[in-house]
A and B are shown apart, each in its own frame.
Chain A
Amino acid sequence: MGFRFVVEPWTAAAPKRRAALSLCTALAAAGVLGSLVFALAGVAPGAAWLAMARGALGSAYSLSEILVKAAPLTLTGLAVALCCRINLWNIGAEGQFVFGAIASCAVGLFAPAWCPPHLLLPLALAAGAAGGAAWALGPALLKARLGVSEILTTLLLNYVAVLFMEHLYFGPWRDPEGMGFPGTAELPDFVWLPTFGDTRMHWGLPLALVLALALWWLLARTRWGFRARVLGESPKAAAYAGFRAVRITVTALCLSGALAGLAGAGELLGVQHHLQDGLATGLGFTGIIVAFLARLNVLAVPFAALLLGGMLVGADQLQTDLRLPGTAILALQAALLFGALLGEFLAGKRVRVVRTGKREDRHGA
């Protein structure tokens, strides 16, 4: 006679309980795996976590830097979460981020002189959103019309976007005053996103928060949101109800692309002010972790973005104080994503111990 564990679906679990369980599992798994990474690197895990906390929360400056990181991460997190809520996988936030930056850069560089300067910033932001949406349009149409996997198309277009951006700043958009180095000229300051005080925090963050609220409203309170959710849960039911699947799919993916594009525009107009090497360093991909940590709840996305931002800022300290390699933070991010997925898996299930000696188990009831 022995025992075995049975993992079975647990539909009766209350949503709040599931959310709490999922989040706790995610953080606990990240904590354990992260500690393991630290220990393997030869550092006391406690000291490492403390150093990270000090790096992230130690000063008003570091706190402001977390918010600088949280702005694009909130937007890319929203982009991924929106699609996943309706069972679409947008792995292309990175490419849409890049295309948003390219489009807003074009406004900054080539706006005609007669255009009033105070119109240029809103125009550049709108161009960023449009650029991101445009980069998502191809995969959206392929998915909606021909059933081509959006996972593959959005993923592969990331690389195309980065190559295209490099072509621009190595070639036609290269700063003529730049001594032959890659990168565009600095954008005129009237397209810069205003910052708060002496910090680098810019208006991208409040914008992202407003958009998170708007997205919640769209999904939870509008007819479009309802139809989209039905389509995600059951395409057959949506078809039976006469919902226009093609239109909903295309709109959702483009909206998602627009959010990621805004993230790119914000990073360009708010922080970097040049299109240059190092603009695309994975904020779009990190958005996937943000979205899953938030359990695809758009209102939780900003909090998940803050946590990730804090990790990224705090990780500086791991290198300077403890001489850990710069790649340690990548392992931590992976631990967090793994934890989030594990938490999500376990939250919808329950584990039961079954005695294998029982008759009904052996023969099946």
Chain B
Amino acid sequence: MRAPKISAVLLSLAALALFSLTTAAQPAWAAAKKTRVAFVLLESINDQGWTTAHHDGIEYMKKSLGNQVEVSYTENVLSPTDAERVIRNYARQGYDIIFGTTFSHMQPMYKVAAEFPNVKFMNCSGFKTRPNMGTYMVRVEQGEYLAGYMAGLMGFKDVGTVATQPIPEVVRGINAFTLGLERGLTESKTKFDPNKVNTIVWLKSWRDAVNETTLAEVLVAQKHDLIRQMADTSDSSKAACLKGVPAVGYGTDAAKYGASCALTSTIFQWGPVYTDIVKQVMAGTWKSEQIFSGFEGGGVGLASFGKAVPKAVAAKVLALKAKMAKGDDMSFVGPIVDQAGVERVKKGQKLPDQELLAMRWFVKGVFGKLPE
């Protein structure tokens, strides 16, 4: 007589459990379908550079949107062959929006986007679009201009830059830094060589553990007074610190990764960009566009100033930053003259975005060539 009793109890318990499960699941299911967001990342999330910045952005977006989103990402997608598979896999799994985080994800994404018209695609640092595929990038030049301005106000007039690859993002970063530097030097009434305030050496790589350090040391040995890091890691800044020369970091806060002498770092802040885009998808207002986010949209930032930066300088830089945040972008306002002395932007005019995105010339004051 006991056996049936136990099984009955078990059965009713199971029924109860099942019932409670379904009722518990019902409201959540009915309330809101989570928006599914996927990211295809170039390197590992702890690369201390490009991909770390994107991962910080993902975390920021997750925090601000909470459980309305379901987020997945795939690291180390360097090869376009792999990128196509990873992107298509996410699309097949029904993700609502898929982000490619580098230029080399553009071609594969462009191909997959044609196959999945109901999935939205966004690619970082590219130019191909479809009705369901847009692009996004941050206005690196705004942060660069301010970092240069700060250095100029402090009287650094012979900067050495460890540049990475000669693509438009890097070129306009160098140009904006130089323009800001010249403005700062002029305001602080420092005499400088108009043809050589910022000397460029090329790493020809995004990161290179050996050469980042070597090139920084070479620039210090050539008596440059400030080292401008542009590589993914803070190694060139750290090398400068060890030699007693200040540095400016790039992409992420170099001081956070061991370069204590960094005066500041220009920072990519993908978080606000991602949050805005995903919110548009959730609201159904997303449309294909080419987003270009600066201080106004929160896409770029400046790391907190180092101890060596005087209060007065910091105040001036922050004042300019506040102006930019209100939409007054003076980073590429003419007159701007190139290395050969040709006027590229007339007085009072502003260089249009399309030209910024494809920039392949240096302003006067940059010392060094753009490799062809």
Interface set of A (CB-CB < 8 Å, partner B): 61, 65, 68, 163, 166, 170-172, 179-183, 186, 200, 267, 271-274, 276-279, 281, 313, 316, 319-320, 325-327
> Known contacts A171-B372, A172-B372, A320-B72; is A180 also within 8 Å of B167 by CB?
yes
Q: Specify which of B80, B86, B126, B127 is in contact with A316 (CB 8 Å cutoff).
A: B86
> Known contacts A61-B92, A272-B80; is A179 also within 8 Å of B165 by CB?
no
A-B contact pairs, 18 of them (CB 8 A): A61-B88, A65-B85, A68-B81, A68-B85, A171-B371, A180-B167, A180-B171, A180-B359, A180-B360, A181-B103, A181-B126, A271-B84, A272-B107, A273-B107, A279-B79, A281-B78, A327-B44, A327-B75
- Residues of chain B with a CB closer than 8 A to A272's CB: 80-81, 107
Question: A276 contacts B85, CB within 8 Å?
Answer: no
Interface set of B (CB-CB < 8 Å, partner A): 41, 44-45, 72-86, 88-89, 92, 103-104, 107, 126-127, 165-168, 171, 204, 357-360, 371-372
- Residues of chain A with a CB closer than 8 A to B92's CB: 61
Question: A170 contacts B165, CB within 8 Å?
Answer: yes
- Residues of chain A with a CB closer than 8 A to B76's CB: 326-327
Question: A319 contacts B167, CB within 8 Å?
Answer: no
Q: CA A273 – CA B111 in complex, angstroms?
A: 12
Query: How many whole Å from B171's CB to the nearest CB in chain A?
Result: 8
Question: A179 contacts B44, CB within 8 Å?
Answer: no
Write the chain A residue with the least CB distance to B77: A326
Question: B127 contacts A278, CB within 8 Å?
Answer: no
Q: A170-B165, A179-B168, A273-B107 are in contact. List 10 more A-B contacts (CB 8 A).
A: A179-B127, A186-B107, A272-B80, A281-B82, A319-B73, A320-B72, A325-B45, A325-B75, A326-B41, A326-B74
- Residues of chain B with a CB closer than 8 A to A267's CB: 81
Query: How many whole Å from A271's CB to the nearest CB in chain B?
Result: 5
- Residues of chain A with a CB closer than 8 A to B104's CB: 183, 276-278
Q: CA A68 – CA B167 in complex, angstroms?
A: 31
Query: How many whole Å from A274's CB to the nearest CB in chain B?
Result: 6
Q: CA A200 – CA B86 in complex, angstroms?
A: 13
Q: Specify which of A183, A186, A278 is in contact with B83 (CB 8 Å cutoff).
A: A278
Question: B371 contacts A170, CB within 8 Å?
Answer: yes
- Residues of chain A with a CB closer than 8 A to B83's CB: 278
Query: How many whole Å from A170's CB to the nearest CB in chain B?
Result: 7
- Residues of chain B with a CB closer than 8 A to A163's CB: 204
- Residues of chain A with a CB closer than 8 A to B165's CB: 170, 182
Write the chain B residue with the least CB distance to A177: B127
Question: A326 contacts B44, CB within 8 Å?
Answer: yes
Q: Is the interface of A mostly helix, strand, loop or mixed?
A: loop
Question: B75 contacts A326, CB within 8 Å?
Answer: yes
Q: CA A134 – CA B56 in complex, angstroms?
A: 45
Q: CA A305 – CA B330 in complex, angstroms?
A: 56
Q: Which 8 A-B pairs have the closest CB atoms?
A: A326-B75, A326-B76, A281-B79, A278-B79, A180-B168, A179-B358, A277-B104, A278-B78
- Residues of chain A with a CB closer than 8 A to B358's CB: 179-180
- Residues of chain B with a CB closer than 8 A to A61's CB: 88, 92
Question: B168 contacts A319, CB within 8 Å?
Answer: no
Q: CA A116 – CA B75 in complex, angstroms?
A: 43
Q: CA A161 – CA B360 in complex, angstroms?
A: 26
- Residues of chain A with a CB closer than 8 A to B82's CB: 278, 281
Q: Specify which of A180, A273, A313, A319 is in contact with B74 (CB 8 Å cutoff).
A: A319
- Residues of chain A with a CB closer than 8 A to B359's CB: 180
Q: CA A77 – CA B357 in complex, angstroms?
A: 42
Q: CA A44 – CA B107 in complex, angstroms?
A: 37
- Residues of chain B with a CB closer than 8 A to A316's CB: 74, 85-86, 89
Question: A200 contacts B84, CB within 8 Å?
Answer: yes
- Residues of chain B with a CB closer than 8 A to A278's CB: 78-83, 104
Question: B74 contacts A276, CB within 8 Å?
Answer: no
Most buried by A among B79, B83, B168: B79
- Residues of chain A with a CB closer than 8 A to B44's CB: 325-327
Query: How many whole Å from A321's CB to the nearest CB in chain B?
Result: 9
Q: CA A171 – CA B166 in complex, angstroms?
A: 9
Q: CA A61 – CA B87 in complex, angstroms?
A: 13
- Residues of chain A with a CB closer than 8 A to B77's CB: 326
Question: A276 contacts B107, CB within 8 Å?
Answer: yes
Query: How many whole Å from B140's CB to the nearest CB in chain A?
Result: 14
Q: CA A200 – CA B72 in complex, angstroms?
A: 24
Question: A170 contacts B166, CB within 8 Å?
Answer: yes
Question: B167 contacts A182, CB within 8 Å?
Answer: yes
Query: How many whole Å from B294's CB to the nearest CB in chain A?
Result: 19
Query: How many whole Å from B55's CB to the nearest CB in chain A?
Result: 11
Q: CA A313 – CA B81 in complex, angstroms?
A: 11
Q: CA A171 – CA B74 in complex, angstroms?
A: 31
Query: How many whole Å from B43's CB to the nearest CB in chain A?
Result: 8
Question: A276 contacts B168, CB within 8 Å?
Answer: no
Q: CA A272 – CA B88 in complex, angstroms?
A: 15
Query: How many whole Å from A60's CB to the nearest CB in chain B?
Result: 11
Write the chain A residue with the least CB distance to B354: A179
Q: CA A326 – CA B74 in complex, angstroms?
A: 7
Q: Specify which of A166, A180, A271 is in contact with B204 (CB 8 Å cutoff).
A: A166
Q: CA A43 – CA B126 in complex, angstroms?
A: 36
Write the chain A residue with the least CB distance to B125: A181
Query: How many whole Å from A297's CB to the nearest CB in chain B?
Result: 27
Q: CA A278 – CA B106 in complex, angstroms?
A: 12
Write the chain A residue with the least CB distance to B92: A61
Query: How many whole Å from A187's CB to the nearest CB in chain B?
Result: 12
Write the chain A residue with the least CB distance to B90: A320
Query: How many whole Å from B177's CB to the nearest CB in chain A?
Result: 18
Question: B371 contacts A181, CB within 8 Å?
Answer: no
Most buried by B among A65, A172, A180, A313: A180
Query: How many whole Å from B92's CB to the nearest CB in chain A?
Result: 7
Q: CA A313 – CA B73 in complex, angstroms?
A: 15
Q: CA A277 – CA B372 in complex, angstroms?
A: 17
- Residues of chain B with a CB closer than 8 A to A281's CB: 78-79, 82
Query: How many whole Å from A173's CB to the nearest CB in chain B?
Result: 11
- Residues of chain A with a CB closer than 8 A to B204's CB: 163, 166, 170
Q: CA A61 – CA B88 in complex, angstroms?
A: 10
- Residues of chain B with a CB closer than 8 A to A326's CB: 41, 44, 74-77
Query: How many whole Å from A108's CB to the nearest CB in chain B?
Result: 15
- Residues of chain A with a CB closer than 8 A to B167's CB: 180-182
Q: CA A201 – CA B66 in complex, angstroms?
A: 40
- Residues of chain A with a CB closer than 8 A to B75's CB: 319, 325-327
Write the chain B residue with the least CB distance to A281: B79
Q: CA A292 – CA B167 in complex, angstroms?
A: 40
Q: CA A182 – CA B371 in complex, angstroms?
A: 12
Write the chain A residue with the least CB distance to B42: A278
